[in-house]
Amino acid sequence: MSRIKLLQSSEIKIFDAPPIFNNDNRMQFFGLNEFTETKLLKFRTPYSKLGFILQLGYFKCVGRFFEIGNFHKEDIDYVAQ
């Protein structure tokens, strides 16, 4: 049985990419509240903390998780500062 093709290759690439944020979006979605800061204490490495904040921010925006290799450099730099 063949698969139904719903999206073109270019559409799949867009769907699989995290949202693109401006600075206001970054403050909104990557901002930390008390609950998030408490959860961050459970992570040992800065790399794990960074990944958690990025995944949480992207999830808050679009309700999905993304491959780490697809994270935007601008977002990584923002969260790492």
Query: Rounded to an integer, what distance in angstroms lies between the CA atom of residue 18 and that of residue 5?
Result: 22
Range of the domain at 38: 32-80
Indicate the number of domains in the chain: 1
C-alpha dihedral sign at 41, 47, 48, 54:
positive
Residue 4: its pLDDT value, please?
Answer: 87
Is residue 27 in some structural domain? no
Is residue 12 in some structural domain? no
Confidence check: pLDDT of 1 > 80: no
What is the band of 3 on the pLDDT scale with cuts at 50, 70, 90? confident
Confidence check: pLDDT of 23 > 80: yes
Query: Rounded to an integer, what distance in angstroms lies between the CA atom of residue 28 and that of residue 40?
Result: 18
Contact 52, 43 (CB under 8 A): yes
For the stretch 30-70, pLDDT in tens is 999 999 999 999 999 999 999 999 999 999 999 999 999 99
Q: Does the predicted TM-score (pTM) go above 0.85?
A: yes
Is residue 17 in some structural domain? no
